[in-house]
Structure 1
């Protein structure tokens, strides 16, 4: 199993030359998911070599501009590239009206099927599921309706063959492999039983990623994201500006680290920094007072788990 996250943008509010608004690409179990689509996202996709044709699912956390103003441009570019594959967009109620109005007024209807999944639940709900992956909402608390997203590899029940051990027993043939993968012991011709644990290995660990976009400190997310391998949590402000964070319903680096600690996550990524700060290392230092394994989001940064 493997999980690869590419940060296309991780800053708040207005774009700058080197400060791009929120957008991420998650590669998990042969899926390529786009998470948020701030202004300039399609340029960032080009810059980091992401194939547009592989994006079939886009998840929008909320309808503030720095998280979705790049969406209509990307949708239009897909048409210019003669896309034929359907595109699914998941986002707050109202996103369909916002996007289709722009397409209507510019007479730029798509030549592919554009499917909107509008959200309004304040509970965690299943958004997407196939044989490999499932995606849930993470209800957040911001100035407007907002969700994060939880991506989980589905359980692989088949065990891995331990070929080193299997080759020691000539009686075991290729036709026996399926039963071994399903956990069955092997019965020798003389009646002896070889335990399955000697012939197979545990399947790879299923990986998970939680994206918590704009939100104030909100402990109800903890049971939803508990034990995830990788957590992105916004940290717009430092503790010294906690009063501003509360007023604007954002989080501090310290608060993000408390969520990570209580949820027992593997790694914490901080991002969505306010432009008022010049030294981002202060965010990491503040968070590490509570949670050691902290990564600072940077434009173009790739985090990979295996």
Structure 2
């Protein structure tokens, strides 16, 4: 299973008792953070998931409400005893932003790997991280894709597909007379030769199992490419800066979305569930506008700070 927490729900600037928009994904104890605005590490500390096992930070864009929490967080991760490499992914120019923010940290006890979406080269990138180090019943690989959005700064949307590896089949291995000494390597998809005979993973593995797709889109107008990018997402997390279509003029001007626009994307993208986040500071009670989403896409939820969601594999 995959756990995630909507750490904060506000865009633009902080408000009392709410954190800036960010989300953390937890896969068997290893973690991915999406965006890191002011106060993100406080939100992380509040849920108690720890800092040392954070392996990847995906930054959507350079605006302060999505980045200025980075130097403090990176220092805290260093103080947690981490020595493994940490990867930061973001749009073109993110290296300069991270290095500038991180100037207050003259020394970190771990390596920072910064990957930029130069010339959109990450659009269909596959990344294998520690997410592959899952237990035997829920082994998976992370396939990460991104797309360029339509905002006032270079901005990326992210799609995470947690590909689940096939189950090991004792029955199949026995039928194919595979020596037990080879089972472990074949289970890990290694083909090999033993006593002058070739053995293949298909001889011990069952059929592929459906994984979990999670898509994250903010800050942007609802451009047409998003629909295909998020298609069949088990969970679609999307900005809903404005609750009402009465604010459409503001949404267009500031390159954001309304609740109804996000819901329409979820519907057209054939998503299973929509969670709305990244609300305008002026939107004091986002829940009161929930009908603007549910009238279009029934399985819509207006996020609150600290909302935890668990996604289960289908089998």
Does TM-score exceed 0.5, indicating one fold? Answer: yes
Q: Does structure 2 retain, via aligned residues, the 8 Å contact 1:284–1:295?
A: yes
Which piece of structure 1 moves more, 293-302 or 14-23?
A: 14-23
Alignment of 1:78-93 (within 5 A): 78-93=77-92
CA distance 1:253–1:158, change in 2 (3 Å): same
- Structure 2 CA distance for aligned equivalents of residues 209 and 10 of structure 1: 18
- 1:235 shift after superposition: 0.8
Structure whose CA Rg is larger: 1
Aligned to 2:40: 41
The answer to whether structure 1 residue 73 and structure 2 residue 72 are counterparts is yes
CA distance 1:201–1:126, change in 2 (3 Å): closer
Aligned to 2:12: 13
Alignment of 1:1-306 (within 5 A): 2-28=1-27, 31-104=30-103, 106=104, 108-122=106-120, 124-126=123-125, 128-129=127-128, 131=132, 132-158=141-167, 205-237=210-242, 238-306=244-312
- 1:228 shift after superposition: 0.8
- Structure 1 CA distance for aligned equivalents of residues 47 and 68 of structure 2: 20
Q: Does structure 1 retain, via aligned residues, the 8 Å contact 2:164–2:209?
A: no
CA distance 1:291–1:160, change in 2 (3 Å): farther
Partner SS, residue 33 of structure 1: strand
- Structure 1 CA distance for aligned equivalents of residues 150 and 82 of structure 2: 36
- Structure 1 CA distance for aligned equivalents of residues 60 and 36 of structure 2: 9
Which piece of structure 1 moves more, 132-141 or 293-302?
A: 132-141
Q: Does structure 2 retain, via aligned residues, the 8 Å contact 1:29–1:153?
A: no
Could you tell me the TM-score, scaled by structure 1's length? 0.82
- 1:101 shift after superposition: 3.0
- Structure 2 CA distance for aligned equivalents of residues 284 and 7 of structure 1: 17
- Structure 2 CA distance for aligned equivalents of residues 81 and 271 of structure 1: 29
Partner SS, residue 232 of structure 1: strand
Q: Does structure 2 retain, via aligned residues, the 8 Å contact 1:28–1:153?
A: no
Partner SS, residue 119 of structure 2: coil
CA distance 1:39–1:157, change in 2 (3 Å): same
Partner SS, residue 126 of structure 1: coil
CA distance 1:157–1:44, change in 2 (3 Å): same
Stretches of structure 2 that go unaligned for 5 or more consecutive residues are 133-140, 172-176, 189-204
Could you tell me the TM-score, scaled by structure 2's length? 0.80
- Structure 1 CA distance for aligned equivalents of residues 311 and 261 of structure 2: 25
- 1:147 shift after superposition: 0.5
Q: Does structure 1 retain, via aligned residues, the 8 Å contact 2:70–2:101?
A: no
CA distance 1:15–1:107, change in 2 (3 Å): closer
Count how many residue pairs are aligned between Structure 1 and Structure 2: 285
Aligned to 1:168: none
- 1:120 shift after superposition: 3.0
Partner SS, residue 143 of structure 1: coil
